[in-house]
Structure 1
Amino acid sequence: MNDPTRPDSAHAGAAAETDADQAAAETEAAAEAVPDRAAHDTVEEAVRTQLTKALGGARGVVEAAIPTIGFTVSWIVTKELRLSLGIGAGLALVLLAVRLAQRSTVQFVLNSIFGIGIAALFALRSGKAEDAFLPGILYNAGYAAAMLVSIVVRWPLVGFIIGSVTGDPTAWHRDREIVRLCSRLTWLLLIPCLVRVAVQYPLYLAGHVAWLGAAKVVMGWPLQVAALAAMAWLLARGRTPMDRSTPAPGA
């Protein structure tokens, strides 16, 4: 039975409990809104995490490579353009089906399917197998040019990864050490693109499809993994504090 002599204390207790629940909910919501800001103490840690997300981890890297490897190996063995394109597309669709069955993200498989589709359009339009490699060469050339310009103007592309973590896309640029670090990291992403273009474009012009296919396999994900390993080594050496003085969006 309720004590009629203590109504105020009962209401006060209920109100306090409600306020505590509301405060806890607000704290949890705030934590969910800016998880990366609380999760990273250094710039290096933030960049490592964001690069892993962007590439989809080890599985995303492998899924992006398998259809291309399938097409390249098939062409080297059979010299059949349509068959090779079909094998590459088929492998991509199998990977997509696995992702859907596991109810996991299909982003990186879709990227791979898109790449195979563009390659097929180029190759089928001209009837030349080497044209399947032209979109990749153009992509690497364009990406390398964009990264080089970003380094020259001292707004290295990797810096914006830090901006996505801190909540301010440009605050990182005020710290010379962070700019220097991001320039080095951007160079490590740029170099594989330059190497691919320097090797593959002359092979494309000469029509050496077998050598071009082999070069694409060797300089695809293995070269990217090597670049990421170099980045991981560079990032592991530094302990640049993450600047959280910039308020989060909406704060």
Structure 2
Amino acid sequence: MDRPTGKHRDDGSRSATEAALFEAFGGVRGMVETTVPGLVFVAVFTVKRDIHTAAIAALALSLVLGVARLVRKDTLKHAFGGVFGVAFGAVFAMMSGDAKNFYLPGMLYTLGLAVAYIVTAVLGCPLLGLILGPVFKENLSWRTRNPGRKKAYTKASWAWGLILLAKSAILFPLYWWGDATQLGWVKVALGIPPMLLSVYLTWIFLAKAPPPIDVFAEMEAAEAAEREAKAAGSTDKVTS
């Protein structure tokens, strides 16, 4: 049987990295599910100028998207995350009477996430490694056993942090000095592109890094070896 060449192995590793990244961040569908409710809110508010109608429309769409995933038995974490985010923003906007507050919880979350990415990268425990380690079945092995992976996760965490900081630097001035319609349309426009850029840069960094150490396979191999050793010991006792 022919063994895979280095190029084929690299292609397989890159494909696996791409698939894992899309799984972790929800893929295109997950991005759409987190962006479209905001689009509905700003569109309805632009036409109706009514916070309650816009908020209810956005929340209803989020619920429909969540139910659709439930019916299809898809991963629910991204849809439910969107539902909770939209619900929190909708309640906040309706209680305050300011349509701009529909976007404030998500903006604060983005800013906090940006700071978390940068701080953890500086401290040598990049957040992206903590997020993607289980996805790649390496857990925290990259911290001590795979310095190339740690370096890639650090670079990727810096990329995510700086991109999200740039997004926040655009949105918060609009929140303070712009109107709800301006803020809403700009936030929708900045929904998917920064995410795609961050995922692409992460893919670039990880595709060039050493492959992950599959700690689950190691544990299974160790358990199998232990069982074989016990079985061999029992056989020796019987024969003696």
Give the structure-1-normalised TM-score: 0.73
Q: Percent identity?
A: 29
Question: Which range is displaced more, 142-151 or 223-232?
Answer: 223-232
- Equivalent of 2:202, from 208, 221, 231? 231
Offset at residue 129 of structure 1 (A):
0.7
Give deviations 1:126-172, integer Å, cap 9, x for gaps. 11111111101110111111111111011111222453256563321
Equivalenced residues, count: 210
Return the alpha-carbon distance in structure 2 between the equivalents of residues 166 and 203 of structure 1.
39
Letter in 1 for 2:77: Q
* SS of structure 2 residue aligned to 1:66: helix
Return the alpha-carbon distance in structure 1 between the equivalents of residues 59 and 99 of structure 2.
15
Return the alpha-carbon distance in structure 2 between the equivalents of residues 248 and 167 of structure 1.
11
Structure 2 counterpart of 1:119: 89
Change in 2 beyond 3 A, CA 1:235/1:67 = same
What do you get for the CA RMSD once the two structures are aligned? 2.6
Offset at residue 57 of structure 1 (A):
2.1
Return the alpha-carbon distance in structure 2 between the equivalents of residues 245 and 226 of structure 1.
30
Where does 1:1-251 land on structure 2 (aligned, <5 Å)? Answer: 42=13, 47-161=17-131, 163-165=133-135, 169-174=139-144, 175-236=146-207, 238-244=208-214, 247-248=218-219, 251=223
Gaps of at least 5 residues in structure 1 are 1-39
Offset at residue 123 of structure 1 (A):
0.9
Offset at residue 49 of structure 1 (A):
3.5
* SS of structure 1 residue aligned to 2:125: coil
Offset at residue 45 of structure 1 (A):
5.7
Change in 2 beyond 3 A, CA 1:45/1:161 = farther
Change in 2 beyond 3 A, CA 1:163/1:96 = closer
Return the alpha-carbon distance in structure 1 between the equivalents of residues 70 and 152 of structure 2.
38
Select the structure of larger CA radius of gyration: 1
Return the alpha-carbon distance in structure 2 between the equivalents of residues 166 and 111 of structure 1.
22
Change in 2 beyond 3 A, CA 1:176/1:49 = same
Gaps of at least 5 residues in structure 2 are 1-10, 224-240
Structure 1 counterpart of 2:226: none
* SS of structure 1 residue aligned to 2:134: helix
Offset at residue 104 of structure 1 (A):
3.1
Change in 2 beyond 3 A, CA 1:217/1:167 = closer
Contact 1:63 1:109 in 2 (8 A): yes
Contact 2:62 2:83 in 1 (8 A): yes
Return the alpha-carbon distance in structure 1 between the equivalents of residues 121 and 51 of structure 2.
39
Give the structure-2-normalised TM-score: 0.76
